[in-house]
Structure 1
Amino acid sequence: MNLRYGLNPHQRPATAIPVDPHRRPFRVRHGEPSYVNVLDAAGAWQLVREAAAALGRPAAASFKHVSPAGAAVAGGIDEVTAATYRLDRASISSVTSAYVRARDADPKSSYGDFVAVSEPVDAELADLLSRVVSDGIVAPGYEPGVVATLSRKKSGRFLILEADPTFVPPPTETREVYGLRLTQPRDPVELNRDLLAGHGLPDSAVDDLLLGLVVVKHTQSNSVAYLRDGMTLGIGAGQQSRVDCTRLAGAKVDTWWLRRHPALRPPAPGARIQDVIDRQMSLAEPAEWRRRLDGVAFVSDGALPFPDNVEHAARHGVRYVAEPGGSLRSDDVAAACARLGVTLVHTGVRLFQH
C-alpha cells in the first residue's frame, strides 16, 4: 500500500506492506492513508475489537497520535451528550452510542480524530461523523450508502478503511529503529473478568476496570484511564511521570463532569458542536460540584510507585483501582486506598505500549 507520506510530509516515499501477502488487516474503501493514519487505524481497531470481545458490547475509540482520546462501549447517553451532538436519546443505535460516548470523554482532544468502531457503520453514525471534525474511520463494514456519504467529507479526503474481523496477526512483532531490528512475541495476555475476581466488586466496576485495562494496553505508556458507566472520562498518555498522567487525566475528568453542571446545560439549540464544547466554565462553587462525582474506576498500565497517584485519583470520585502491583511501595499504595475507601485490585499484568 502506497502512503501519502511518512510521519511528516517531507518523509517520502512511504509504504505499508502486509507481512502475509495473502492477508491484510484492512483494505482502503476511500481515500489515501498516511503513515500516521495506518498506525492510528491499527491501534484503534485492536482496541475496539478487544473491548467488544471482553465486554460483549459494541465498542468505539477516538484515536489521536497513536493513543485513544476516548473509548467506550455502547450504552445510554445523557442529555448533555444528546444536546451537544444533536442525537435522539430514545432511538440512538448501539454503534453510534459507543462512538459518541467515546468522543465525549475528551472532545477537545478528539478534534480531528481517527475513529474506530467494532460494528458496521450505519447511517446515523455517518450523519454524526459528517458534523464533527475527524480524519478517518476503520470499521468491519458499512451499511449501503454510508461509504458514499462519508467519502464527501473533508472535500473527499476522509479516509475509510474496512477491517477484516477474521484477521489473525503474526505471533511475533518486529520493528526497525536506528539500524536495529527489534523482535518480540506479540502480547498474548487475555484481558478478562478473571483478572478482577475475588474482590467483591459490583459488576459495573468490573466492566469499567476491564475496559480500562483494554484501553491502557493500547495507549502510549505511561498511561492511566478514569472510567465510569462503560466509558472513559479521562486518559493520560505518554508522560514520563505516572503521577503526571494521573493529574492530566484527572483534569479531563473534571472538565467532563463540569459540563454536566445544571448551570451549563442544556446547550443552546443549534449551537455548533465545538462552540458547545468550548464554553467557559464560570461556576461559583465548582469544587462542591466536583465532590458529587462518585463510583469512578481507575486503571494504570504499570505499578503505582507512590500513594500520590491514589490520592489524586480519589479527588475525582475514584472508588476502584486496578494496577499490576509489585512496586517497592505497594504496601503504602494499599494503605492509601484503605484510608480513602478505594478498592484496590492487583492484576499482576503490566501493559506497557511503546
Structure 2
Amino acid sequence: GDFVALSDVCDEATALLIKREVSDGVIAPGYTPEAIEVLKEKRKGTYCVIQIDPDYVPAPIEHKQVFGVTFEQGRNEVKLDDPALFEDIPTKNKTFTPEAKRDLIISLITLKYTQSNSVCYVKDGQAIGIGAGQQSRIHCTRLAGSKADEWWLRQCPKVMNLPFKEKIRRADRDNTINVYISDEWEDVLQDGVWEQFFTEKPEPLTREEKKAWIAQNKGVSVGSDAFFPFGDNIERAHKSGVEYIAEAGGSIRDDNVIDTCDKYGIAMAFTHVRLFHH
C-alpha cells in the first residue's frame, strides 16, 4: 500500500497533515506522544505506525526470490549528494544554482526508488512529475512532463479562483479540478453537473490559456535514471520549463542531446551513474 516515510521524528503538526491524507501507514525514526495520539485515531485505530532504527545498516547483499529462483545483488548504496555527480557538464551553460543542485539531488533520490525506466521533474524542493516503469525513455519524459504541467496548471489564477461550493469534499474538489484542466473539461461544466460543485458556472480553461500559463513555468529540474538516447526528450522537457538536467550520459547520440540543450540554454550534467536497480 501507500506509506508515508519520514526522515525525522514525527511531531503533532506532521501527524495532523498525515491524518487527512490517504495512506496505509507511516514509518519514521520516532514519534512524539502527541503525534501518536493523532495517528491512533486514523482508520479507526488500524493505521500502521512503524518506528525504525535510523542507525540500522542492512546487509550488503540483497536476496530476492522469483518463482523459486534466487537473485542476488549488491545494495544500491550510491551517494547521490556527491558533488562529483555535477562535475562533468558538457553543455555551454555550466551554471547550476544551489537550488537547482538540491532539486536534481531530489530527482535522483526519487529515481533510485522507482522502477526503470524513469524520469523525475522537480521544482522548489518537491517532485512535481514522475514517469516510471515505461518501455521508452521518451514515454517517461512525456508522462512526467504531463504531471508537471498539471501541477503547474492547478496554480493558474483561473483554477485557484474556481467558485466551489463551501462544503464540497476535498476529494471531490481535487477530482473536479483534474477534469476541469484536462481536455475533458466539458464533463464537469455541462448543465446538470456543474451545479454539484460550483456556485456558478465557470468559464472553461481554453487550450490557449493553458499553453500560455505552462509557458510561464521556469526553473524546473529533471533527472533520468539512465542516459537520454535522443534530443526529443530535451524538447519535451523544455516545454515544461526545464532549465537543469542530470542524466547518466553514455549514449551514442550524446551529441544530439547536448546540442538540443544548448539550443535552449539548458545546463546538463553527466552523472555517469545508472540508477537501474531492482
TM-score normalised to structure 2 length = 0.83
Structure 1 residue 248 corresponds to structure 2 residue 143: yes
Structure 1 counterpart of 2:129, from 230, 234, 248:
234
Structure 1 residue 272 corresponds to structure 2 residue 169: yes
- Corresponding residue for 1:63? none
Structure 1 residue 257 corresponds to structure 2 residue 152: yes
Give the aligned residue type for 2:213.
Answer: W
Structure 1 residue 137 corresponds to structure 2 residue 44: no
- Corresponding residue for 1:283? 205
Structure 1 residue 339 corresponds to structure 2 residue 263: yes
In structure 1, C-alpha distance between the alignment counterparts of 2:103 and 2:168, rounded to whole Å:
32
The 3-state SS of whatever aligns with 1:134 is: coil
- Corresponding residue for 1:169? 58
Alpha carbons 2:11, 2:34 under 8 Å: kept? no
Shift, 1:148, TM fit: 2.9
Structure 1 counterpart of 2:239, from 304, 315, 339:
315
Give the aligned residue type for 1:261.
Answer: C
The 3-state SS of whatever aligns with 1:145 is: helix
Shift, 1:266, TM fit: 5.2
Instruction: Return 5+ residue gaps in structure 2 as ranges.
Output: 182-203
Shift, 1:180, TM fit: 1.7
Shift, 1:200, TM fit: 2.5
Structure 1 residue 152 corresponds to structure 2 residue 41: yes
Give the aligned residue type for 1:168.
Answer: V
Give the aligned residue type for 1:321.
Answer: I
Alpha carbons 2:156, 2:213 under 8 Å: kept? yes
Higher relative contact order (CA 8 A, sep 6+): 2
The 3-state SS of whatever aligns with 1:213 is: helix
Deviations, residues 40-77 of structure 1 (Å, cap 9, x unaligned): xxxxxxxxxxxxxxxxxxxxxxxxxxxxxxxxxxxxxx
Give the aligned residue type for 1:189.
Answer: V
Give the aligned residue type for 1:296.
Answer: V
In structure 1, C-alpha distance between the alignment counterparts of 2:8 and 2:255, rounded to whole Å:
42
Decide whether aligned partners of structure 1 residues 143 and 271 sit closer, same or farther in structure 2, where only a CA change above 3 A counts.
Answer: farther
Give the aligned residue type for 1:194.
Answer: A
The 3-state SS of whatever aligns with 1:240 is: coil
Shift, 1:270, TM fit: 5.3
- Corresponding residue for 2:190? none
State which structure, 1 or 2, has the greater radius of gyration over its C-alpha atoms: 2
Alpha carbons 1:337, 1:344 under 8 Å: kept? yes
Shift, 1:328, TM fit: 1.5
In structure 2, C-alpha distance between the alignment counterparts of 1:173 and 1:334, rounded to whole Å:
36
Alpha carbons 1:222, 1:241 under 8 Å: kept? yes
Give the aligned residue type for 1:277.
Answer: D
TM-score normalised to structure 1 length = 0.66
In structure 2, C-alpha distance between the alignment counterparts of 1:195 and 1:271, rounded to whole Å:
47
- Corresponding residue for 1:299? 223
- Corresponding residue for 1:178? 67
Shift, 1:225, TM fit: 0.4
Alpha carbons 1:302, 1:352 under 8 Å: kept? yes
Structure 1 residue 326 corresponds to structure 2 residue 215: no
Residues 79-118 of structure 1 correspond to what in structure 2 (within 5 A)? 113-118=2-7
The 3-state SS of whatever aligns with 2:16 is: helix
In structure 1, C-alpha distance between the alignment counterparts of 2:277 and 2:129, rounded to whole Å:
18
Question: What CA RMSD, in Å, does the superposition of the two structures yield over aligned residues?
Answer: 1.6
Structure 2 counterpart of 1:217, from 108, 112, 131:
112
Alpha carbons 2:76, 2:277 under 8 Å: kept? no
How many residues are aligned here? Answer: 243
The 3-state SS of whatever aligns with 1:332 is: helix
Shift, 1:353, TM fit: 3.1
Decide whether aligned partners of structure 1 residues 158 and 343 sit closer, same or farther in structure 2, where only a CA change above 3 A counts.
Answer: same
Shift, 1:127, TM fit: 1.6
Instruction: Return 5+ residue gaps in structure 1 as ranges.
Output: 1-36, 38-112
- Corresponding residue for 1:102? none
Alpha carbons 1:132, 1:273 under 8 Å: kept? no
Deviations, residues 107-153 of structure 1 (Å, cap 9, x unaligned): xxxxxx31111111111122222222221111111111322321221
